[in-house]
């Protein structure tokens, strides 16, 4: 296991993950986004709903362009492009969105994941302004629950200058995830394109390593929120069930990337899944569960506000977004 010194000593190269998009399409989309931002902006990206007595607020952190060339490792690119076209998306790629959740439960303000912070693509970094627009203060966050250690879920904990974003918050992480990403032996044998992630983990968690609380599957983390194992996307990836009275909700984290591809085609494997076979089995299991129970779900990478229901469609599924409502 690394020492505290080795955690803190992460170099600048560890500040960002491997590029998520092909250069040509990404550059075009980034330029279009920058041009649009200079002309006009949308309303703040937050959306509230209730699960029984628990208030849920989705907080958007922008997007990164995703080129689909080579992205699905077990499907022909023509099939992938067709799936995008059927969903009225560009056949070459799409906007990969980032959506965290803020929960008010048991008198606490709880975050599930933290977004990209100031370490993401130029089209991300909207999280804090949206969080504040929703009426929240980072100094008031009581607990941060992390689903897994990929950079777009943990970079929001700490700015590039080293300062903690949520100074009083308890930080809870999956024990299996912690063990994997803090293991120097795992880093030494990791594929080259995954090694920067170990540096991100050192940068983010190094200054707080003695205070981080590890959790297990089946554990109630805060009132009404229980961890549910969903390994495959990463070694210790977690999802969550939220229960309040008779109301139930599932936070499905990264069991899929864009629903038009991976809810619709659950056996497709994106390159971001570390264990493709395990991730496919997890995806089917949880989508089946959500469809059978008709429970509302939230995804990290679905189009904002990233919540809806799962409908079974033969051997496949459909994501049915909730109807927007002004009432909470």
Three-state secondary structure of 121-175: CCCECCHHHHHHHCCCCHHHCCEEECCCCCHHHHHHHECCCCCECCCCCEEEEEH
Distance CA 264, CA 312 (A): 9
- Is residue 53 within 8 A of residue 244, CB to CB? The reply is yes
Distance CA 321, CA 73 (A): 27
Distance CA 15, CA 171 (A): 20
- Is residue 24 within 8 A of residue 68, CB to CB? The reply is no
Distance CA 298, CA 314 (A): 22
pLDDT digit string, tens, across residues 168-202: 999 999 999 999 999 999 999 999 999 999 999 99
Distance CA 275, CA 202 (A): 23
Average pLDDT, the chain: 91
pLDDT digit string, tens, across residues 76-115: 999 999 999 999 999 999 999 999 999 999 999 999 999 9
pLDDT digit string, tens, across residues 245-293: 999 999 999 999 999 999 999 999 999 999 999 999 999 999 999 999 9
Q: pTM above 0.85?
A: yes
The secondary structure of 249-299 as a DSSP string is EEE-TTS-SSHHHHTTSTT--BTT-SSHHHHHHHHHHHHHHHHHHT-EEE-
Exposed, middle or buried, 46 (CB in 10 Å: 0-12/13-18/19+)?
Answer: buried
Residue 246 is classified by DSSP as T
Distance CA 111, CA 169 (A): 10
Q: To which residue do tokens 């912690």 refer?
A: 178
Beta partners for 111?
102, 144
Exposed, middle or buried, 278 (CB in 10 Å: 0-12/13-18/19+)?
Answer: middle
């Amino acid at each position: 296991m690394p020492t505290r010194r080795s955690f803190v000593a992460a170099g600048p190269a560890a500040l960002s993950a491997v590029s998520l998009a092909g250069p040509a399409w990404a550059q075009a989309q980034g330029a279009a986004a920058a041009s649009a931002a200079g002309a006009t902006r949308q309303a703040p990206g937050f959306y509230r709903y209730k699960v029984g007595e628990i208030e849920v607020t989705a907080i958007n952190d922008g997007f990164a362009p995703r080129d689909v060339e080579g992205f699905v490792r077990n499907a022909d690119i023509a099939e992938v492009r067709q799936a995008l076209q059927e969903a009225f998306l560009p056949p070459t790629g799409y906007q990969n969105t980032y959506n965290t959740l803020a929960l008010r439960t048991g008198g606490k303000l709880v975050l599930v994941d933290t977004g990209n912070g100031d370490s993401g693509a130029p089209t991300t970094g909207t999280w804090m302004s949206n969080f504040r627009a929703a009426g929240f203060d980072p100094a008031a966050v009581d607990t941060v629950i992390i689903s897994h250690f990929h950079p777009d879920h943990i970079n929001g904990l700490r700015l590039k200058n080293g300062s903690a974003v949520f100074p009083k918050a308890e930080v809870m992480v999956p024990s299996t995830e912690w063990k994997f990403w803090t293991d120097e032996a795992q880093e030494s044998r990791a594929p080259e394109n995954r090694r920067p992630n170990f540096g991100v983990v050192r940068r983010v968690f190094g200054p707080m390593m003695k205070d981080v609380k590890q959790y297990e599957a089946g554990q109630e983390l805060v009132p009404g929120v229980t961890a549910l194992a969903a390994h495959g996307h990463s070694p210790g990836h977690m999802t969550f069930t939220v229960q309040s009275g008779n109301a139930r909700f599932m936070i499905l984290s990264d069991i899929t990337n864009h629903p038009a591809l991976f809810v619709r085609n659950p056996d497709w494997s994106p390159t971001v899944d570390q264990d493709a076979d395990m991730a496919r089995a997890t995806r089917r299991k949880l989508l089946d569960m959500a469809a059978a129970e008709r429970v509302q779900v939230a995804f990290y990478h679905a189009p904002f506000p990233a919540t809806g229901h799962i409908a079974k469609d033969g051997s496949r599924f459909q994501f049915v977004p909730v109807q927007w409502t002004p009432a909470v």
